[in-house]
Amino acid sequence: MQRRAALRVAHPAPPSHAWDLLFTAALAAFTLALALFGFVLAGAIVDDSSPGPRAESTSSPQGATAGGAHDAGPAPMTRGADDARLQAAILDELGADVGRFGVVARRLDDGLGAGVNPDRVFYAASTFKLALLYEAELRRSQGLLDFNAPLPLDESDLSEDLGTFENLPFAEDGTLTIGAALEAMITLSDNASAVALLRLLGPEAIDATLATLGLKHTSVNTRELPTTASDMALLMEAIVRGEGVDPEARGHMRSLLLAQHSRDGIPAGLPGSARVGNKTGTWEQATHDVAFVETTSGTYVVAVLSDSDRDWGRIARVSGAVYAVLAQ
């Protein structure tokens, strides 16, 4: 009891007038803290909404070490709601077969676009080669890949040939450069060079790169090769914008797609004044085309995927409907 009494003496209760002083001081401190909080909050809101470049990540995503480090490219522009007129135009062309298609179209300067079954998963067929194209150009931009170096080829690569391998530009010593293989993979859709490039670049590293671009369903690390129209449109947009690569790589990707030999899909539905670079993909119950289209009104990307067998006419008509809206 004496120890407790001593403690009370050490901390005596303040007289009544002291309570008034303490209350006033506490109220002033609370008011000052509240004002400072409001100031900090307002600054955070202004900083978050102010225009300006986003900081790029310098960390390598998981799996990137298999084929080189990758920096995240610029974030894609914010997408608004689907444009009703564009969506109606696509639906009109698909008609009763709408369930067999996945379509995404988007204009780059203002983000105007629409999608029909945008996240339905399809077998990618040869559209997966767009992922290899972007990865190779990214590595060259980073100084990690020499397009003049020979591409290692083995018997397993040759077994994937569907009749285009003999048209590849081999050097006198029988070697094929990485750059020549890349060109054949895109313009001729050569499979042997694609398989060799996939092994060289590393499927896990490519998937990691695709993730940094925002692709959610696409993978080259499985024989199922899943993809969606939404992912393919996003990948084509990254190619057209040159996200994460230097201007030389961006121009080279564009030129290869413009030189595509297969033009029965999206390009066939466009007037001659439009410049279109595309990559097709066909297999049993898979007919796809992914493209960028340059018009006098701006550039847009469009991906049309289907589970049909070479229904190029339908893809061409969808392409024409998209052009009628986005090229205005």
So where are the chain's domains?
Answer: 14-49, 64-326
Q: Which CATH class is domain 64-326?
A: alpha beta
So what's the pLDDT on residue 165?
A: 80
Q: How confident is the model at residue 81 (pLDDT cuts 50, 70, 90)?
A: low
For Cα atoms 105, 110, 113, give the angle at the middle one, nearest 5 degrees. 20
In order of 8, 14, 16, 25, 304, the CA distances from 19 in angstroms are 18, 7, 5, 10, 76
Residue-wise pLDDT tens digits, 126-158: 999 999 999 999 999 999 999 999 999 888 887
Percentage of residues in the chain having pLDDT higher than 90: 66
Phi then psi dihedrals of residue 7, to 5 deg: -65, -40
Residue-wise pLDDT tens digits, 198-237: 999 999 999 999 999 999 999 999 999 999 999 999 999 9
Whether 281 contacts 128, CB under 8 Å: yes
Q: What is the CA radius of gyration of the chain?
A: 29
Please determine, for residue 124, whether its predicted confidence score (pLDDT) is greater than 70.
Answer: yes
Q: What is d(CA 122, CA 46) in angstroms, rounded to the nearest whole number? A: 42
Lowest mean pLDDT, pick from 50-59, 92-101, 185-194: 50-59
Interval 239-255 mean pLDDT: 98
Please determine, for residue 60, whether its predicted confidence score (pLDDT) is greater than 50.
Answer: no
So what's the pLDDT on residue 79?
A: 57
Closest to 210 measured CA to CA, from 225, 196, 194, 195: 225
| pTM of the entire predicted model | 0.76
Please determine, for residue 178, whether its predicted confidence score (pLDDT) is greater than 50.
Answer: yes
Whether 325 contacts 89, CB under 8 Å: yes
Tell me whether strands 286-295 and 275-283 are parallel, antiparallel or unpaired: antiparallel
Whether 316 contacts 269, CB under 8 Å: yes
Interval 180-193 mean pLDDT: 95
Lowest mean pLDDT, pick from 76-90, 117-131, 262-276: 76-90
Mean pLDDT taken over the chain: 81
Residue-wise pLDDT tens digits, 86-116: 999 999 999 999 999 999 999 999 999 999 9
Residue-wise pLDDT tens digits, 287-319: 999 999 999 989 999 999 999 988 899 999 999
User: What is the spatial order of strands in the sheet that 275-283 belongs to?
Assistant: 113-116, 101-107, 298-306, 286-295, 275-283
Contacts of 136 (CB under 8 A, 6+ apart): 145, 147, 178, 182, 197, 201
Q: How confident is the model at residue 159 (pLDDT cuts 50, 70, 90)?
A: confident
So what's the pLDDT on residue 80?
A: 57
